[in-house]
Amino acid sequence: EIATMKKAAQLADEGVKIGVNALKEGITETEVLAVIEYELKKKGIQGMSFSTMVLFGEKSGEPHGNPGQAALKKGDFVLFDLGVIVDG
């Protein structure tokens, strides 16, 4: 179990890196979310353990916000919240 949890944690960390690398002015929260989930599924995860959250700007302070079509602007804070399912 511990090895599986470590693998899941590593893949979740990879998801944040994928998200950071996808950031560019004008991209939307939903587009970044889609990139993260797509790339993680290519790496073999079974799915996300809860709804992935990517929030920009003022919305980044909302711990339970909903990603939408907000576009990233220079200077925006970004919040990522995600988890993955690995081996059940």
pLDDT of 40 reads: 98
53 is in which domain, residue-wise?
A: 2-85
pLDDT of 31 reads: 98
pTM for the model? 0.94
How many domains is the chain partitioned into structurally? 1
Residues of the chain with pLDDT under 50: none
Sign of the CA dihedral with 58 first, then 60, 64, and 66 last: positive
User: Do 3 and 78 form a contact (C-beta atoms < 8 A)?
Assistant: no
Q: How far apart are CA 78 and CA 57, in angstroms?
A: 6
What is the CATH classification number for the domain harbouring 52?
3.90.230.10
pLDDT of 63 reads: 83
User: Do 43 and 14 form a contact (C-beta atoms < 8 A)?
Assistant: yes
Strands (E), 1-88: 47-48, 53-56, 78-81, 84-85
